[in-house]
Amino acid sequence: MLKLCSVSKKYAKSDTYAVNDVNIHVKGGEIYGFIGPNGAGKTTTIKMIIGVLSPTEGSIEINGTDIAKNGNKAKKNIGYVSDSHVMYDMLTGKEYVNFLADVYGVSAEDRQKRCEKLLEMFGMKDAFNSQISTYSHGMKQKINVIGALIHEPPVWILDEPMTGLDPQSAHALKTLMKEHRDKGNVVFFSTHVLEVAEKLCDRVGIISDGKLIKEGTLEEIAGSEKASSLEDLFLALTKKEK
Amino acid sequence: MKTFLVMLKRNIKMFFKDKGLFFTSMITPLILLVLYATFLSNVYKDSFMGVLDGFGVKVEESLMNGLVGGQLFSSLLAVSCVTVSFCSNMLMVQDKVTGARKDFLMGPLKKSTLALSYYTASAFSTLIICVLAMIACFVYIGIVGWYITVADVFLIMLDVFLLVMFGTALSSVINFFLSSQGHISAVGSIVSSCYGFICGAYMPLASFGDWLRNIVMFLPGTYGTSMLRNHTLNGVFEEMTSQLTKTHPEPMVDALIEGLRDSIDCNLYFFDTQVEIGTMYLIVSLSILALVAIYVILNVLRKKKD
Protein backbone atom coordinates (compact mmCIF):
# COMPACT_ATOMS: atom_id res chain seq x y z
CA MET A 1 0.00 0.00 0.00
CA LEU A 2 1.22 3.50 -0.84
CA LYS A 3 -0.32 6.52 0.84
CA LEU A 4 0.52 10.18 0.34
CA CYS A 5 -1.32 12.45 2.79
CA SER A 6 -1.39 16.20 1.99
CA VAL A 7 2.15 16.04 0.65
CA SER A 8 3.75 19.34 -0.37
CA LYS A 9 7.28 20.24 -1.35
CA LYS A 10 8.81 23.69 -1.52
CA TYR A 11 12.48 23.96 -2.49
CA ALA A 12 14.71 26.18 -0.38
CA LYS A 13 15.24 28.91 -2.97
CA SER A 14 11.73 28.94 -4.37
CA ASP A 15 8.56 30.82 -3.42
CA THR A 16 6.24 28.33 -5.07
CA TYR A 17 5.39 24.75 -4.25
CA ALA A 18 6.82 22.12 -6.61
CA VAL A 19 4.21 19.72 -5.22
CA ASN A 20 1.14 21.13 -3.52
CA ASP A 21 -1.15 19.21 -1.18
CA VAL A 22 -1.12 15.92 -3.06
CA ASN A 23 -3.22 13.04 -1.70
CA ILE A 24 -2.80 9.63 -3.30
CA HIS A 25 -3.79 6.25 -1.95
CA VAL A 26 -2.78 3.20 -4.00
CA LYS A 27 -4.04 -0.11 -2.66
CA GLY A 28 -2.32 -3.47 -3.14
CA GLY A 29 -3.22 -5.06 -6.46
CA GLU A 30 -3.32 -1.77 -8.38
CA ILE A 31 -1.30 -0.24 -11.18
CA TYR A 32 -1.32 3.52 -10.77
CA GLY A 33 -0.21 5.75 -13.64
CA PHE A 34 1.17 9.13 -12.68
CA ILE A 35 1.02 11.47 -15.64
CA GLY A 36 1.64 15.14 -16.18
CA PRO A 37 3.47 17.59 -18.41
CA ASN A 38 7.19 18.35 -17.97
CA GLY A 39 7.88 20.23 -14.73
CA ALA A 40 4.49 19.29 -13.26
CA GLY A 41 6.02 17.72 -10.15
CA LYS A 42 6.11 14.02 -11.07
CA THR A 43 9.78 13.45 -10.36
CA THR A 44 9.68 15.51 -7.15
CA THR A 45 6.75 13.38 -5.95
CA ILE A 46 8.58 10.16 -6.82
CA LYS A 47 11.76 11.37 -5.10
CA MET A 48 9.72 11.98 -1.94
CA ILE A 49 8.15 8.51 -2.18
CA ILE A 50 11.53 6.79 -2.44
CA GLY A 51 12.96 8.90 0.39
CA VAL A 52 15.50 10.98 -1.52
CA LEU A 53 13.62 14.21 -0.72
CA SER A 54 11.71 15.02 2.45
CA PRO A 55 8.25 16.57 2.08
CA THR A 56 7.88 20.13 3.39
CA GLU A 57 4.44 19.16 4.65
CA GLY A 58 2.45 15.95 4.84
CA SER A 59 3.43 12.32 5.21
CA ILE A 60 4.15 9.26 3.05
CA GLU A 61 3.42 5.70 4.11
CA ILE A 62 4.92 2.67 2.41
CA ASN A 63 3.18 -0.54 3.39
CA GLY A 64 2.01 1.06 6.62
CA THR A 65 5.40 2.58 7.56
CA ASP A 66 5.97 6.33 7.60
CA ILE A 67 9.10 6.89 5.51
CA ALA A 68 10.06 9.97 7.56
CA LYS A 69 9.89 8.08 10.84
CA ASN A 70 11.34 4.71 9.84
CA GLY A 71 13.13 5.23 6.55
CA ASN A 72 15.02 1.95 6.41
CA LYS A 73 11.97 -0.22 7.11
CA ALA A 74 9.92 1.69 4.55
CA LYS A 75 12.66 1.54 1.90
CA LYS A 76 12.96 -2.23 2.23
CA ASN A 77 9.46 -2.37 0.74
CA ILE A 78 10.33 -0.29 -2.32
CA GLY A 79 11.78 -1.30 -5.66
CA TYR A 80 12.73 1.64 -7.84
CA VAL A 81 13.46 1.91 -11.55
CA SER A 82 14.77 5.33 -12.55
CA ASP A 83 14.88 6.94 -15.97
CA SER A 84 18.58 7.79 -15.56
CA HIS A 85 20.92 4.93 -14.85
CA VAL A 86 23.45 5.27 -12.09
CA MET A 87 25.06 1.97 -12.78
CA TYR A 88 28.47 0.70 -11.78
CA ASP A 89 30.18 0.27 -15.11
CA MET A 90 33.04 -1.72 -13.67
CA LEU A 91 30.74 -4.42 -12.32
CA THR A 92 29.13 -7.17 -14.35
CA GLY A 93 25.33 -7.39 -14.49
CA LYS A 94 25.51 -10.35 -12.13
CA GLU A 95 27.71 -8.51 -9.63
CA TYR A 96 25.34 -5.53 -9.71
CA VAL A 97 22.23 -7.64 -9.09
CA ASN A 98 24.02 -9.63 -6.38
CA PHE A 99 25.06 -6.39 -4.71
CA LEU A 100 21.43 -5.23 -4.57
CA ALA A 101 20.30 -8.65 -3.38
CA ASP A 102 22.87 -8.45 -0.58
CA VAL A 103 21.72 -4.96 0.42
CA TYR A 104 18.10 -6.17 0.65
CA GLY A 105 19.08 -9.47 2.30
CA VAL A 106 17.72 -11.80 -0.41
CA SER A 107 18.66 -15.45 0.07
CA ALA A 108 20.85 -17.18 -2.53
CA GLU A 109 18.01 -19.52 -3.45
CA ASP A 110 15.47 -16.72 -3.98
CA ARG A 111 17.83 -14.55 -5.97
CA GLN A 112 18.73 -17.41 -8.29
CA LYS A 113 15.09 -18.29 -8.89
CA ARG A 114 14.09 -14.67 -9.53
CA CYS A 115 17.14 -13.93 -11.65
CA GLU A 116 16.56 -16.91 -13.90
CA LYS A 117 12.98 -15.88 -14.58
CA LEU A 118 13.76 -12.21 -15.18
CA LEU A 119 16.84 -12.88 -17.32
CA GLU A 120 14.79 -15.22 -19.46
CA MET A 121 11.99 -12.67 -19.87
CA PHE A 122 14.39 -9.89 -20.89
CA GLY A 123 16.73 -12.05 -22.97
CA MET A 124 19.68 -11.06 -20.78
CA LYS A 125 21.09 -14.48 -19.93
CA ASP A 126 24.09 -14.20 -22.24
CA ALA A 127 24.98 -10.66 -21.15
CA PHE A 128 24.58 -11.24 -17.41
CA ASN A 129 28.27 -11.97 -16.87
CA SER A 130 29.48 -9.09 -19.06
CA GLN A 131 30.59 -5.74 -17.69
CA ILE A 132 27.82 -3.12 -17.50
CA SER A 133 30.08 -0.71 -19.42
CA THR A 134 29.48 -2.87 -22.50
CA TYR A 135 25.66 -2.67 -22.19
CA SER A 136 23.39 -0.58 -24.41
CA HIS A 137 20.92 1.89 -22.85
CA GLY A 138 18.12 -0.65 -23.14
CA MET A 139 20.20 -3.41 -21.53
CA LYS A 140 21.06 -1.10 -18.64
CA GLN A 141 17.35 -0.41 -18.20
CA LYS A 142 16.64 -4.14 -18.14
CA ILE A 143 19.31 -4.87 -15.53
CA ASN A 144 17.94 -1.92 -13.56
CA VAL A 145 14.49 -3.57 -13.59
CA ILE A 146 15.96 -6.93 -12.56
CA GLY A 147 17.80 -5.22 -9.69
CA ALA A 148 14.64 -3.43 -8.58
CA LEU A 149 12.62 -6.66 -8.48
CA ILE A 150 15.24 -8.94 -6.92
CA HIS A 151 13.72 -8.48 -3.44
CA GLU A 152 10.10 -8.69 -4.70
CA PRO A 153 9.10 -5.30 -3.27
CA PRO A 154 5.49 -4.74 -2.21
CA VAL A 155 5.70 -1.25 -3.74
CA TRP A 156 7.30 -0.93 -7.18
CA ILE A 157 8.01 2.60 -8.36
CA LEU A 158 9.00 3.26 -11.97
CA ASP A 159 9.99 6.60 -13.45
CA GLU A 160 9.51 6.63 -17.24
CA PRO A 161 10.29 2.91 -17.44
CA MET A 162 9.71 2.39 -21.16
CA THR A 163 12.47 4.80 -22.23
CA GLY A 164 15.00 3.02 -24.44
CA LEU A 165 13.33 -0.39 -24.39
CA ASP A 166 12.78 -2.35 -27.60
CA PRO A 167 9.19 -3.54 -28.27
CA GLN A 168 9.88 -7.06 -26.91
CA SER A 169 11.38 -5.71 -23.69
CA ALA A 170 8.62 -3.12 -23.30
CA HIS A 171 6.12 -5.94 -23.63
CA ALA A 172 8.03 -8.03 -21.06
CA LEU A 173 8.08 -5.08 -18.65
CA LYS A 174 4.32 -4.53 -19.05
CA THR A 175 3.76 -8.25 -18.38
CA LEU A 176 5.91 -8.01 -15.26
CA MET A 177 3.98 -4.98 -14.03
CA LYS A 178 0.72 -6.86 -14.42
CA GLU A 179 2.14 -9.95 -12.70
CA HIS A 180 3.38 -7.83 -9.84
CA ARG A 181 -0.05 -6.22 -9.51
CA ASP A 182 -1.76 -9.63 -9.64
CA LYS A 183 0.32 -10.78 -6.66
CA GLY A 184 -1.34 -8.01 -4.62
CA ASN A 185 1.50 -5.49 -4.88
CA VAL A 186 1.46 -1.80 -5.77
CA VAL A 187 2.85 -0.62 -9.10
CA PHE A 188 3.25 3.16 -9.33
CA PHE A 189 4.74 4.59 -12.47
CA SER A 190 5.16 7.88 -14.23
CA THR A 191 5.02 8.07 -17.99
CA HIS A 192 4.70 10.37 -20.93
CA VAL A 193 3.40 7.56 -23.09
CA LEU A 194 -0.32 7.96 -22.57
CA GLU A 195 -1.19 4.86 -24.60
CA VAL A 196 0.77 2.73 -22.13
CA ALA A 197 -1.02 4.33 -19.19
CA GLU A 198 -4.37 3.86 -20.90
CA LYS A 199 -3.81 0.14 -21.53
CA LEU A 200 -2.00 -0.74 -18.31
CA CYS A 201 -3.33 1.33 -15.44
CA ASP A 202 -6.17 0.56 -13.10
CA ARG A 203 -6.17 4.19 -12.04
CA VAL A 204 -4.36 7.32 -13.13
CA GLY A 205 -3.50 10.59 -11.43
CA ILE A 206 -2.90 13.71 -13.47
CA ILE A 207 -0.58 16.28 -11.96
CA SER A 208 -0.14 19.81 -13.24
CA ASP A 209 1.74 22.69 -11.61
CA GLY A 210 2.30 20.55 -8.53
CA LYS A 211 -1.39 19.85 -7.95
CA LEU A 212 -3.18 16.57 -8.49
CA ILE A 213 -5.92 17.86 -10.76
CA LYS A 214 -7.69 14.58 -11.51
CA GLU A 215 -7.57 11.05 -10.21
CA GLY A 216 -9.51 7.85 -10.77
CA THR A 217 -10.19 5.12 -13.29
CA LEU A 218 -10.28 6.17 -16.92
CA GLU A 219 -14.07 5.87 -16.87
CA GLU A 220 -14.35 8.07 -13.80
CA ILE A 221 -12.14 10.75 -15.30
CA ALA A 222 -13.79 10.50 -18.71
CA GLY A 223 -17.21 10.80 -17.10
CA SER A 224 -16.68 14.46 -16.38
CA GLU A 225 -15.01 15.35 -19.66
CA LYS A 226 -15.92 14.98 -23.32
CA ALA A 227 -12.99 12.98 -24.57
CA SER A 228 -12.44 9.80 -26.51
CA SER A 229 -8.96 8.89 -25.23
CA LEU A 230 -6.60 9.49 -22.32
CA GLU A 231 -4.58 11.76 -24.58
CA ASP A 232 -7.64 13.97 -25.26
CA LEU A 233 -8.48 13.95 -21.57
CA PHE A 234 -4.96 14.83 -20.57
CA LEU A 235 -4.77 17.70 -23.03
CA ALA A 236 -8.17 19.02 -22.04
CA LEU A 237 -7.46 18.86 -18.31
CA THR A 238 -3.97 20.34 -18.39
CA LYS A 239 -5.12 23.11 -20.77
CA LYS A 240 -8.04 23.94 -18.50
CA GLU A 241 -5.70 24.06 -15.51
CA LYS A 242 -3.38 26.54 -17.25
CA MET B 1 25.84 -4.66 10.31
CA LYS B 2 25.01 -6.81 7.28
CA THR B 3 24.43 -3.74 5.10
CA PHE B 4 27.70 -2.28 6.36
CA LEU B 5 29.57 -5.43 5.32
CA VAL B 6 27.88 -5.41 1.90
CA MET B 7 28.91 -1.79 1.35
CA LEU B 8 32.42 -2.48 2.67
CA LYS B 9 32.85 -5.34 0.21
CA ARG B 10 31.48 -3.23 -2.62
CA ASN B 11 33.77 -0.27 -1.87
CA ILE B 12 36.92 -2.40 -1.65
CA LYS B 13 35.97 -4.23 -4.86
CA MET B 14 35.30 -0.96 -6.71
CA PHE B 15 38.69 0.48 -5.71
CA PHE B 16 40.67 -2.53 -6.91
CA LYS B 17 38.57 -2.76 -10.09
CA ASP B 18 39.07 0.92 -10.94
CA LYS B 19 42.44 0.84 -12.67
CA GLY B 20 42.59 4.65 -12.79
CA LEU B 21 42.21 5.05 -9.03
CA PHE B 22 44.53 2.15 -8.30
CA PHE B 23 47.24 3.44 -10.64
CA THR B 24 46.96 7.01 -9.28
CA SER B 25 47.44 5.68 -5.77
CA MET B 26 50.68 3.99 -6.84
CA ILE B 27 52.17 7.09 -8.51
CA THR B 28 53.95 8.49 -5.45
CA PRO B 29 55.55 5.20 -4.35
CA LEU B 30 56.61 4.65 -7.96
CA ILE B 31 58.14 8.13 -8.17
CA LEU B 32 60.08 7.37 -5.02
CA LEU B 33 61.32 4.04 -6.36
CA VAL B 34 62.41 5.66 -9.62
CA LEU B 35 64.20 8.46 -7.73
CA TYR B 36 66.05 5.94 -5.57
CA ALA B 37 66.88 3.67 -8.48
CA THR B 38 68.19 6.52 -10.64
CA PHE B 39 70.12 8.75 -8.26
CA LEU B 40 68.86 9.21 -4.68
CA SER B 41 70.37 5.96 -3.48
CA ASN B 42 73.82 7.00 -4.73
CA VAL B 43 73.41 10.53 -3.40
CA TYR B 44 72.68 9.18 0.09
CA LYS B 45 75.44 6.61 -0.09
CA ASP B 46 77.96 9.30 -1.12
CA SER B 47 76.67 11.64 1.54
CA PHE B 48 76.97 8.98 4.29
CA MET B 49 80.42 7.98 3.02
CA GLY B 50 81.42 11.64 3.13
CA VAL B 51 80.35 11.92 6.77
CA LEU B 52 82.13 8.66 7.67
CA ASP B 53 85.28 9.71 5.81
CA GLY B 54 85.17 13.01 7.71
CA PHE B 55 85.43 11.00 10.92
CA GLY B 56 88.04 8.77 9.35
CA VAL B 57 86.01 5.58 9.68
CA LYS B 58 84.88 2.86 7.30
CA VAL B 59 81.91 0.49 7.61
CA GLU B 60 80.96 -2.76 5.89
CA GLU B 61 79.21 -2.52 2.51
CA SER B 62 76.15 -4.41 3.82
CA LEU B 63 75.83 -1.91 6.69
CA MET B 64 75.86 0.96 4.20
CA ASN B 65 73.30 -0.84 2.04
CA GLY B 66 71.15 -1.44 5.13
CA LEU B 67 71.32 2.27 5.94
CA VAL B 68 70.28 3.40 2.45
CA GLY B 69 67.72 0.59 2.10
CA GLY B 70 66.20 1.42 5.48
CA GLN B 71 65.79 5.00 4.41
CA LEU B 72 64.08 3.93 1.18
CA PHE B 73 61.89 1.52 3.16
CA SER B 74 60.74 4.20 5.62
CA SER B 75 60.19 6.84 2.92
CA LEU B 76 58.21 4.49 0.71
CA LEU B 77 55.89 3.37 3.48
CA ALA B 78 55.47 6.84 4.98
CA VAL B 79 54.32 8.18 1.61
CA SER B 80 52.24 5.17 0.54
CA CYS B 81 50.18 5.00 3.72
CA VAL B 82 48.88 8.53 3.10
CA THR B 83 48.73 8.87 -0.70
CA VAL B 84 47.12 5.44 -1.23
CA SER B 85 44.47 6.23 1.36
CA PHE B 86 43.69 9.51 -0.42
CA CYS B 87 43.17 7.69 -3.71
CA SER B 88 41.16 4.82 -2.27
CA ASN B 89 38.96 7.32 -0.46
CA MET B 90 38.27 9.10 -3.77
CA LEU B 91 35.57 6.48 -4.27
CA MET B 92 33.48 8.50 -1.81
CA VAL B 93 33.76 11.52 -4.12
CA GLN B 94 33.22 9.47 -7.28
CA ASP B 95 29.98 8.13 -5.84
CA LYS B 96 28.86 11.72 -5.26
CA VAL B 97 29.81 12.71 -8.82
CA THR B 98 28.07 9.76 -10.49
CA GLY B 99 24.99 9.98 -8.26
CA ALA B 100 25.61 6.50 -6.81
CA ARG B 101 25.47 7.96 -3.29
CA LYS B 102 21.87 9.09 -3.84
CA ASP B 103 21.16 5.68 -5.32
CA PHE B 104 22.38 3.96 -2.16
CA LEU B 105 20.28 6.20 0.03
CA MET B 106 17.16 5.10 -1.86
CA GLY B 107 17.79 1.66 -0.38
CA PRO B 108 17.63 0.58 3.26
CA LEU B 109 20.94 2.20 4.12
CA LYS B 110 21.69 4.77 6.81
CA LYS B 111 23.93 7.71 5.97
CA SER B 112 26.11 6.88 8.96
CA THR B 113 26.55 3.30 7.68
CA LEU B 114 27.57 4.64 4.29
CA ALA B 115 30.10 7.09 5.82
CA LEU B 116 31.57 4.34 8.01
CA SER B 117 31.78 1.96 5.05
CA TYR B 118 33.81 4.49 3.04
CA TYR B 119 36.19 5.04 5.95
CA THR B 120 36.67 1.35 6.70
CA ALA B 121 37.00 0.35 3.04
CA SER B 122 39.61 3.03 2.45
CA ALA B 123 41.59 1.94 5.52
CA PHE B 124 41.30 -1.71 4.49
CA SER B 125 42.33 -1.17 0.84
CA THR B 126 45.26 1.01 1.94
CA LEU B 127 46.33 -1.58 4.52
CA ILE B 128 46.31 -4.32 1.89
CA ILE B 129 48.58 -2.31 -0.42
CA CYS B 130 50.86 -1.03 2.34
CA VAL B 131 51.26 -4.43 3.98
CA LEU B 132 52.24 -5.86 0.58
CA ALA B 133 54.68 -2.95 0.12
CA MET B 134 56.03 -3.57 3.64
CA ILE B 135 56.62 -7.27 2.87
CA ALA B 136 58.39 -6.32 -0.37
CA CYS B 137 60.56 -3.86 1.59
CA PHE B 138 61.42 -6.51 4.20
CA VAL B 139 62.49 -8.86 1.41
CA TYR B 140 64.61 -6.10 -0.16
CA ILE B 141 66.25 -5.25 3.17
CA GLY B 142 66.83 -8.96 3.75
CA ILE B 143 68.76 -9.08 0.49
CA VAL B 144 70.84 -5.89 0.87
CA GLY B 145 71.51 -5.99 4.62
CA TRP B 146 69.15 -6.99 7.46
CA TYR B 147 69.77 -5.33 10.82
CA ILE B 148 66.15 -4.86 11.98
CA THR B 149 65.31 -6.37 15.37
CA VAL B 150 62.10 -8.34 16.02
CA ALA B 151 60.83 -5.53 18.25
CA ASP B 152 61.40 -3.03 15.45
CA VAL B 153 59.55 -5.28 12.99
CA PHE B 154 56.48 -5.09 15.25
CA LEU B 155 56.92 -1.36 15.72
CA ILE B 156 57.13 -0.90 11.94
CA MET B 157 53.82 -2.76 11.65
CA LEU B 158 52.33 -0.46 14.29
CA ASP B 159 53.70 2.60 12.46
CA VAL B 160 52.16 1.43 9.17
CA PHE B 161 48.82 0.83 10.88
CA LEU B 162 48.85 4.26 12.55
CA LEU B 163 49.88 6.03 9.34
CA VAL B 164 47.15 4.25 7.37
CA MET B 165 44.62 5.36 10.00
CA PHE B 166 46.02 8.88 9.84
CA GLY B 167 45.91 8.95 6.03
CA THR B 168 42.37 7.58 5.97
CA ALA B 169 41.12 10.06 8.56
CA LEU B 170 42.81 13.00 6.84
CA SER B 171 41.54 12.01 3.39
CA SER B 172 38.03 11.41 4.75
CA VAL B 173 37.88 14.95 6.10
CA ILE B 174 39.31 16.55 2.94
CA ASN B 175 37.34 14.38 0.49
CA PHE B 176 34.13 15.16 2.38
CA PHE B 177 34.15 18.62 0.78
CA LEU B 178 34.90 17.42 -2.78
CA SER B 179 32.07 16.97 -5.23
CA SER B 180 33.34 17.02 -8.80
CA GLN B 181 35.74 15.25 -11.14
CA GLY B 182 37.86 18.43 -11.20
CA HIS B 183 38.19 18.32 -7.41
CA ILE B 184 39.29 14.67 -7.57
CA SER B 185 41.99 15.43 -10.15
CA ALA B 186 43.24 18.53 -8.33
CA VAL B 187 43.47 16.97 -4.87
CA GLY B 188 44.87 13.70 -6.27
CA SER B 189 47.64 15.56 -8.10
CA ILE B 190 48.50 17.87 -5.20
CA VAL B 191 48.67 15.09 -2.64
CA SER B 192 50.59 12.72 -4.92
CA SER B 193 53.19 15.32 -5.83
CA CYS B 194 53.54 17.28 -2.57
CA TYR B 195 53.09 14.86 0.29
CA GLY B 196 56.42 13.13 -0.31
CA PHE B 197 58.22 16.46 0.08
CA ILE B 198 56.43 17.84 3.11
CA CYS B 199 56.67 14.63 5.14
CA GLY B 200 60.40 14.35 4.52
CA ALA B 201 60.22 11.22 2.36
CA TYR B 202 61.88 12.56 -0.79
CA MET B 203 64.45 14.70 1.02
CA PRO B 204 65.18 14.73 4.76
CA LEU B 205 63.75 17.73 6.62
CA ALA B 206 67.29 18.35 7.87
CA SER B 207 68.15 19.52 4.36
CA PHE B 208 65.31 22.09 4.33
CA GLY B 209 65.76 25.73 5.30
CA ASP B 210 64.93 26.61 8.92
CA TRP B 211 61.61 28.35 8.19
CA LEU B 212 60.31 25.52 5.99
CA ARG B 213 61.42 22.88 8.48
CA ASN B 214 59.64 24.71 11.29
CA ILE B 215 56.44 24.89 9.23
CA VAL B 216 56.38 21.18 8.33
CA MET B 217 57.01 20.30 11.97
CA PHE B 218 53.40 21.35 12.57
CA LEU B 219 52.22 18.55 10.25
CA PRO B 220 51.58 15.21 12.00
CA GLY B 221 52.63 13.16 8.94
CA THR B 222 56.23 14.32 9.47
CA TYR B 223 56.37 12.47 12.78
CA GLY B 224 55.03 9.32 11.11
CA THR B 225 57.97 9.34 8.68
CA SER B 226 60.41 9.78 11.55
CA MET B 227 58.82 6.93 13.53
CA LEU B 228 59.27 4.58 10.58
CA ARG B 229 62.79 5.82 9.94
CA ASN B 230 63.80 5.19 13.54
CA HIS B 231 62.46 1.66 13.47
CA THR B 232 63.97 0.74 10.12
CA LEU B 233 67.39 2.18 11.03
CA ASN B 234 67.80 1.52 14.78
CA GLY B 235 69.37 -1.86 14.08
CA VAL B 236 71.79 -0.40 11.53
CA PHE B 237 72.94 2.28 13.98
CA GLU B 238 73.31 -0.23 16.81
CA GLU B 239 75.44 -2.50 14.62
CA MET B 240 77.45 0.47 13.42
CA THR B 241 78.06 1.59 17.01
CA SER B 242 79.03 -1.91 18.04
CA GLN B 243 81.50 -2.27 15.16
CA LEU B 244 83.04 1.21 15.43
CA THR B 245 83.49 1.25 19.21
CA LYS B 246 85.91 -1.67 18.81
CA THR B 247 88.34 0.54 16.92
CA HIS B 248 87.36 4.12 17.74
CA PRO B 249 86.70 6.17 20.89
CA GLU B 250 83.07 5.94 22.11
CA PRO B 251 82.39 9.71 22.28
CA MET B 252 83.46 10.05 18.65
CA VAL B 253 81.24 7.16 17.55
CA ASP B 254 78.31 8.63 19.48
CA ALA B 255 78.83 12.00 17.81
CA LEU B 256 79.02 10.30 14.41
CA ILE B 257 75.82 8.30 14.94
CA GLU B 258 73.95 11.33 16.29
CA GLY B 259 75.11 13.31 13.28
CA LEU B 260 73.79 10.61 10.95
CA ARG B 261 70.50 10.39 12.87
CA ASP B 262 70.09 14.18 12.64
CA SER B 263 70.85 14.20 8.91
CA ILE B 264 68.11 11.69 8.04
CA ASP B 265 65.40 12.85 10.49
CA CYS B 266 65.65 10.01 12.98
CA ASN B 267 66.06 12.91 15.41
CA LEU B 268 63.37 15.53 14.90
CA TYR B 269 63.46 18.99 16.41
CA PHE B 270 60.41 21.15 17.03
CA PHE B 271 62.19 24.48 16.78
CA ASP B 272 65.13 23.67 19.12
CA THR B 273 63.54 20.95 21.22
CA GLN B 274 64.13 17.31 20.29
CA VAL B 275 60.89 15.34 19.92
CA GLU B 276 61.00 11.97 21.69
CA ILE B 277 59.64 8.89 19.92
CA GLY B 278 56.85 8.54 22.52
CA THR B 279 55.77 12.11 21.80
CA MET B 280 55.70 11.30 18.07
CA TYR B 281 53.29 8.42 18.75
CA LEU B 282 51.17 10.72 20.89
CA ILE B 283 51.01 13.39 18.18
CA VAL B 284 50.04 10.92 15.45
CA SER B 285 47.46 9.15 17.66
CA LEU B 286 45.86 12.40 18.79
CA SER B 287 45.76 13.64 15.19
CA ILE B 288 43.91 10.47 14.15
CA LEU B 289 41.38 10.91 16.95
CA ALA B 290 40.89 14.59 16.14
CA LEU B 291 40.40 13.91 12.41
CA VAL B 292 37.98 11.04 13.06
CA ALA B 293 36.01 13.33 15.40
CA ILE B 294 35.89 16.02 12.68
CA TYR B 295 34.69 13.44 10.12
CA VAL B 296 31.92 12.29 12.46
CA ILE B 297 30.86 15.89 13.19
CA LEU B 298 30.82 16.74 9.46
CA ASN B 299 28.57 13.75 8.76
CA VAL B 300 26.22 14.62 11.62
CA LEU B 301 25.96 18.21 10.37
CA ARG B 302 25.27 17.04 6.81
CA LYS B 303 22.57 14.69 8.06
CA LYS B 304 20.88 17.58 9.87
CA LYS B 305 21.20 19.81 6.79
CA ASP B 306 19.64 17.13 4.53
Does one domain contain both A107 and A197? no
A100 at B interface, C-beta within 8 A:
yes
My answer on whether A73 and A159 are in the same domain is: yes
B28-45 mean pLDDT: 82
Chain Cα centroid distance, residue A49: 10
For residues A206 and A138, state if they share a domain: no
Note whether A100 contacts B107, CB cutoff 8 Å.
yes
The neighbouring-strand residues paired with A9 are A19
Asked if residue B277 has pLDDT above 90, the reply is yes
Beta strand A78-81 with A65-66 is: unpaired
A143 with A167, same domain: the answer is no
Average confidence (pLDDT) over B183-204? 83
ipTM of the prediction: 0.72
Q: What are the chain B neighbours of A88 within 8 Å (beta carbons)?
A: 14, 100
Question: DSSP states of B205-238 as a string?
Answer: GGGS-HHHHHHHTTSHHHHHHHHHHHHHHHHHHH
What is the phi/psi pair of residue B132, to 5°? -65, -45
| Cα nearest neighbour of B100 on chain A | A86
Same domain, residue pair A170 and A53: yes
Give yes or no for residue B238 having a pLDDT over 70.
Answer: yes
CA-nearest of B131, B99, B129, B118 to B174 is B118
pTM of the prediction?
0.82
Rounded to an integer, what distance in angstroms lies between the CA atom of residue A10 and that of residue B99?
22
**Domain-ending residue, one of A113, A133, A152:** A152
In a shared domain, residues A171 and A228: yes
CB B71 within 8 A of CB B259: no
Q: How confident is the model at residue B161 (pLDDT cuts 50, 70, 90)?
A: very high
Find out whether A203 and A216 touch, Cβ atoms under 8 Å. yes
Q: Centre a 10 Å sphere on the Cβ of residue A30 and count the other Cβ atoms it contains.
A: 18
**Residues in chain A closer than 8 A to B109 (CB atoms):** 72, 75, 103
- Asked if B102's CB is within 8 angstroms of A88's CB, the reply is no
Question: pLDDT category, B135, cuts 50, 70, 90?
Answer: very high
CA distance A139 to chain B (A): 19
Percentage of chain B lying above the pLDDT 70 cut = 99
Can you give the pLDDT at residue A86?
66
Q: Which residues in chain A have Cβ-Cβ distances shorter than 8 Å to B105? A: 51-52
Q: Judge if A234 and A167 occupy the same domain.
A: yes
B97-110 pLDDT tens trace: 888 888 888 888 88
Domain end among A152, A182, A203: A152
Q: Give the residue with greater pLDDT, B115 vs A39.
A: B115
How high is the pLDDT of residue A198? 81
Q: Does A12 touch chain B (CB under 8 A)?
A: no
Q: What is the pLDDT of residue A241?
A: 56
Full residue range of the structural domain in which residue A174 is found: 2-77+154-241
Looking at residue A90, what is its pLDDT?
77
**CATH number, domain at A19?**
3.40.50.300
pLDDT of residue A226: 60
Contact status, residue B20 vs residue A89, Cβ threshold 8 Å = no
- Whether A128 and A159 map to the same domain: the answer is no
What's the pLDDT tens digit per position in B50-62?
888 888 888 888 8
Domain end position, chosen among A125, A152, A179: A152
pLDDT surpassing 90 at residue B290: yes
Long-range contacts of B278-284 (CB under 8 A, 24+ apart): B280/B223, B280/B224, B280/B226, B280/B227, B281/B162, B281/B227, B283/B220, B283/B223, B284/B162, B284/B163, B284/B166, B284/B220, B284/B223, B284/B224, B284/B227
B17/A30: higher pLDDT = A30
State residue B201's pLDDT score: 83
A192 close contact with B: CB closer than 8 A? no
Contacts with B22 from chain A: Cβ below 8 Å: none
Cβ-Cβ contacts under 8 Å for A230 (sequence gap 6 or more): A35, A194, A195, A197, A198, A204, A218
Within 13 A of A54's CA, how many CA atoms are on the CB side?
10
What whole-number distance in Å separates Cα of residue B257 and Cα of residue B253?
6
Looking at residue A229, its pLDDT comes to 66
Q: Which residues of A touch B100 (CB under 8 A)?
A: 86, 88
pLDDT band at B116 (very low <50, low <70, confident <90, very high): very high
What's the confidence (pLDDT) of residue A45?
92
Cα A150 → chain centroid: 15
For an interface test with A, give the residue of B5, B7, B103, B303 to mutate (most A CBs within 10 A): B103
Question: Which residue among B3, B18, B107 places its CB closest to the CB of A90?
Answer: B18
pLDDT cut 90: percent of chain B above it: 33
Q: Which residues of chain A have pLDDT under 70?
A: 84-87, 223-230, 236-242
Integer angstrom CA distances of residue B212 from B36, B138, B263:
23, 32, 16
Number of domains in chain A: 2
Q: Are residues A225 and A116 in the same domain?
A: no
* Tens-place pLDDT, residues A76-89: 899 988 876 666 77
Chain B, 101 to 120: residues with Cβ < 8 Å from chain A are 102-103, 105-110
- Rounded CA-CA distance B223/A6 in Å is 59
Residue B302 pLDDT grade (very low, low, confident, very high; cuts 50, 70, 90) = confident
